A = this chain, B = another copy of it.
Amino acid sequence: MERLDQQMRFAGEVDRLKGVLRQTMLAGPGRRENSAEHSWHVALMAVTLAEYAPPGTDIGRVTVMLLLHDLVEIDAGDLFVYAGEAEQARQQTAERAAANRIFALLPADQAASFRGLWDEFEERRTPEARFARGLDRLQPMLANFAAGGGTWHEHGITADQVLAKVALIEDGSPALGRYARDLVRRAVRDGLLAPAPGPAGRG
């Protein structure tokens, strides 16, 4: 039973992702989203929006990638997508150390396979990783739009900054990229997102 015991220890450890808070606000319960909720949401979006992935994309692989892409945040925490470069670099180091620890709870063959999927997601070279990364970026934009501005307001983010992030969605799925670009346009039109830094803005 040693193999199963290792797998169950992993299944117990991942529970901690429910305590990792993200910046994103939930539209309903008036609190921040946690990374387990986010992971579920993007995995279900992958299934729902599968037809917008490039032909031949293995959606099963995308789904598994999204289920485990944030496990490293158990140790490293979540970093806001608009954080500066130095912070991003520190985060990357912390996430790599976390991946080393967390996936190693599993039997060796499975540790290698899960770690491989995590690396693939990070490296963004395959159609599966690109589609997954696009969804991971799209989901908080939908949440901000639904919440009437959300973290865009809270952090003084402007449309030019959001549009710079849309490139990664386009790279995973041209159709979803167009949808995201149009969402930004609607957010500006509805006053949920400032078009550019104002005189008293942060830029």
- Report chain B residues within 8 Å CB of A106: 48
Chain A 38-75 interface 0/1 with B at a Cβ cutoff of 8 Å (1 = within): 01110111011100100000001001100110000000
- When the two chains form their complex, are residues B18 and A48 in contact, meaning their CB atoms are under 8 A apart? no
Give the CA-CA distance A63 to B27 in the complex, in Å. 26
- Report chain B residues within 8 Å CB of A19: 26, 28-29
Interface size class on chain A is 35 or more
- When the two chains form their complex, are residues B4 and A28 in contact, meaning their CB atoms are under 8 A apart? no
- Report chain B residues within 8 Å CB of A29: 18-19
- When the two chains form their complex, are residues A67 and B40 in contact, meaning their CB atoms are under 8 A apart? yes
- When the two chains form their complex, are residues B8 and A110 in contact, meaning their CB atoms are under 8 A apart? no
Residue of B7, B10, B45, B60 near A11 (CB, 8 A) is B45
Give the CA-CA distance A37 to B19 in the complex, in Å. 10
Determine the residue in chain B with the shortest Cβ distance to A11.
B45
The answer to whether A179 and B15 touch (CB under 8 A), given A36-B37, A47-B67, A64-B47, is: no
Give the CA-CA distance A61 to B48 in the complex, in Å. 14
- When the two chains form their complex, are residues A44 and B26 in contact, meaning their CB atoms are under 8 A apart? no
**Is the C-beta of A94 less than 8 angstroms from some C-beta in chain B?**
no
Give, as a whole number of angstroms, the nearest-CB distance from A52 to chain B: 7
- Report chain B residues within 8 Å CB of A45: 11
Determine the residue in chain B with the shortest Cβ distance to A12.
B146
- When the two chains form their complex, are residues B63 and A64 in contact, meaning their CB atoms are under 8 A apart? yes
Residue of B12, B17, B26, B63 near A63 (CB, 8 A) is B63
Chain A 1-39 interface 0/1 with B at a Cβ cutoff of 8 Å (1 = within): 100100110111011111100000011110001101101
Residue of B10, B14, B48, B110 near A7 (CB, 8 A) is B48
Interface positions, chain A 92-128, Cβ under 8 Å from B, are 106, 110
Query: Can you name 18 A-B residue pairings with CB atoms under 8 Å?
Result: A1-B179, A7-B48, A7-B49, A11-B41, A11-B49, A11-B142, A12-B27, A12-B146, A14-B44, A15-B41, A18-B28, A18-B29, A19-B29, A37-B37, A39-B40, A44-B68, A48-B106, A60-B60
